[in-house]
Amino acid sequence: MNLKATELRLGLPGTDESQKEYSSFVKSNKRSSEGMDSSCNEEECATAPKAQVVGWPPVRSYRKNVLQQQQKKSDSDVSGMYVKVSMDGAPYLRKIDIKVYKNYPDLLMALENMFKCSMGVYSEREGYNGSEYAPTYEDKDGDWMLVGDVPWDMFVTSCKRLRIMKGSEAKGLGCQ
């Protein structure tokens, strides 16, 4: 099945598109630390996080912490469940909406496409043994779990963030 036609082109680490994005990330960062360019090119600035000035804007840490805590919670309650995805070795993270996928194979395929890596097939005994990479996630209790162990619906409600680990590191998780 040729999925290239339906493939989401989002710019990946290692490809030409991603090079452009990465360099604009660096450029925008430099700009904001120099302080002042309000006439910044929309295209360049859209993806880059702003360099933060200490104590600005003047919002008390107490307030910042309370809002951050709540926003983390609401991110998972509202429909459209965006979680951060990191991959070992990649310079920046991505975000995906896991509610878009119906099952594990769909999710894994999307991740493989997004990060141009191979994670192989899940097996209950061996995990993703033999693959270059393995998908893991942080659950509500803060523990790092192997993707695929629990039923899909349970995974969707308990997944807080994803991390694509190097296969060699993920071995420990698979063996439990």
Partner 1 sequence: MAQSFPEDVLEHVFSFLNYDKDRNAVSLVCKSWYEIERLCRRRIFIGNCYAVSPEIVIRRFPDVRAVELKGKPHFADFNLVPEGWGGYVYPWIVSLARAYPWLEEIKLKRMVVTDESLELISKSFKNFKVLVLLSCEGFTTDGLASIAANCRNLRELDLGESEVEDLSGHWLSHFPDNCTSLVSLNISCLGSEVSFCALERLVARCPNLKTLRLNRAVPLEKLPNLLCRAPQLVELGTGVYSAEIQSDIFSNLAEAFLGCKQLKGLSGFWDVVPAYLPAMYSVCSRITSLNLSYATAQNPELVHFVSQCSNLQRLWVLDYIEDAGLEALAASCKDLHELRVFPSDPFDAEANVSLTEQGLVAVSEGCPKLQSVLYFCRQMSNAALVAIARSRPNMIRFRLCIIEPRAPDYLTLEPLDTGFGAIVENCKELRRLSMSGLLTDRVFEYIGTHAKKLEMLSIAFAGDSDLGLHHVLSGCESLRKLEIRDCPFGDKALLANATKLETMRSLWMSSCSVSFGACKLLGQKMPRLNVEVINERGPPDSGPESCPVEKLYVYRTIAGPRVDMPGFVWTMDEQVSSSLSRVTERRGD
Residues contributing to the site for partner 1 (CB under 8 A)? 35-36, 38, 45, 49-50, 52-64, 66-67, 70-71, 73-74
Q: Kind of pairing, strands 82-87 and 161-166?
A: parallel
- Of 51 and 109, the one with the shorter C-beta distance to partner 1 is 51
- Of 2 and 61, the one with the shorter C-beta distance to partner 1 is 61
Contact between 57 and 77 (Cβ < 8 Å): no
Q: Which residues, other chains included, contact 42 with Cβ-Cβ below 8 Å and sequence gap of 6+?
A: none
In angstroms, give the least distance from the CB of 5 to partner 1: 32
In angstroms, give the least distance from the CB of 60 to partner 1: 5
Only one residue has tokens 């598109």, namely 17
- Of 16 and 43, the one with the shorter C-beta distance to partner 1 is 43
- Of 41 and 103, the one with the shorter C-beta distance to partner 1 is 41
The neighbour count for residue 16, using CB atoms within 10 Å, is 8
In angstroms, give the least distance from the CB of 55 to partner 1: 3
- Of 9 and 63, the one with the shorter C-beta distance to partner 1 is 63
In angstroms, give the least distance from the CB of 47 to partner 1: 11
The CA distance from 20 to 24, in Å, is 6
Contact between 75 and 159 (Cβ < 8 Å): no
The neighbour count for residue 156, using CB atoms within 10 Å, is 16
In angstroms, give the least distance from the CB of 66 to partner 1: 5
CA distances for 53 relative to 26, 35, 58, 105, angstroms: 17, 9, 10, 42
